[in-house]
Amino acid sequence: MRVVLAEDLFLLRDGLVRMLEAYGFEIAAAVESGPELSKALAELEPDVAVVDVRLPPSHTDEGLQCALAARRARPGLPVLVLSQHVEQLYARELLADGDGGIGYLLKDRVFDADQFIDAVRRVAAGGTAMDPQVISQLLSRRSQDKPMGGLTPREREVMELVAQGRSNTAVAAQLVITERAVAKHTSNIFGKLGLPPSDDDNRRVLAVLAYLDHG
């Protein structure tokens, strides 16, 4: 699996390269700026891009914008973005760009190799991988909002895991309940969010977008 990596800090970039290679990924390019990232994504057509949100020369959201532009040129390009802090706008913009093949992790998460590699693989396979801390903070901020405030405690637990990109099987294992119970909870969540019940990835992304938009 070929990866384009964009990170301006040399030590972190080098560490990520070594980690990804240790887990069998091929590094197609490891770059440090927005222009280099745009060029690599256009020319190398990687299986997945791992991108720092803030890159030179602007050091604002250049990495994210380069990734979004690449997805417009190549719909469905899997992109996992890394951010130093929880930024609701970044999460919403990334999710709104399309369904599946997207992820948003805090940089601290990359030091947990298993979790980071799992996120890269999930995104590369067309799924979503949202940082648990991002989801927890956003859910907490919306605890009294409607329709999110209408969710039961168990539905909130399920919503948090769904937002991370977990499958029904993974949610069931995490909460120690049956997959049938998870399907029932997700159906209730979709109903409360005004979305037709469905287990497909697109509907799950729309559910995450719906709750991000209620803030």
The per-residue pLDDT for range 92-119, each reduced to its tens digit, is: 777 776 666 888 899 988 889 998 999 9
pTM over 0.95: no
> How many whole angstroms from its chain centre is CA 168?
17
Q: Could you tell me if 60 and 82 are in contact, meaning their C-beta atoms sit under 8 angstroms apart?
A: no
Q: Could you tell me if 171 and 178 are in contact, meaning their C-beta atoms sit under 8 angstroms apart?
A: no
Judge if 126 and 145 occupy the same domain.
Answer: no
Structural domain count, the chain: 2
- Name which residue leads in pLDDT, 29 or 205: 29
Residue 81 exposure: Cα atoms within 13 Å on the Cβ side: 29
Average pLDDT over residues 52-71: 92
d(CA 31, CA 17): 11
Band of the pLDDT at 177, cuts 50, 70, 90?
very high
Is 215 a residue whose pLDDT tops 50?
no
Is 180 a residue whose pLDDT tops 50?
yes
Judge if 124 and 162 occupy the same domain.
Answer: no
- pLDDT value for 188: 87
d(CA 168, CA 201): 11
| pLDDT tens digits for range 65-91 | 999 999 989 988 999 999 988 777 777
Looking at the domain assignment, is residue 136 inside a domain?
no
Is 6 a residue whose pLDDT tops 50?
yes
Residue 186 exposure: Cα atoms within 13 Å on the Cβ side: 28
Q: How far is CA 113 from CA 6, 117, 174, 214, in A?
A: 18, 6, 19, 33
Looking at the domain assignment, is residue 206 inside a domain?
yes
d(CA 45, CA 185): 38
| pLDDT tens digits for range 117-154 | 999 999 999 888 888 777 766 666 554 455 565 788 89
d(CA 127, CA 206): 13
Is 158 a residue whose pLDDT tops 70?
yes
Going by C-alpha positions, the residue among 98, 108, 151, 147 that lies closest to residue 131 is 108
| pLDDT tens digits for range 22-48 | 999 999 999 999 999 999 999 999 999
Judge if 159 and 99 occupy the same domain.
Answer: no
Q: Could you tell me if 27 and 1 are in contact, meaning their C-beta atoms sit under 8 angstroms apart?
A: no
d(CA 60, CA 108): 19
- Residue that finishes a domain, picked among 110, 130, 150: 130
Domain CATH for 23: 3.40.50.2300
d(CA 158, CA 69): 32
Looking at the domain assignment, is residue 65 inside a domain?
yes
d(CA 196, CA 105): 28
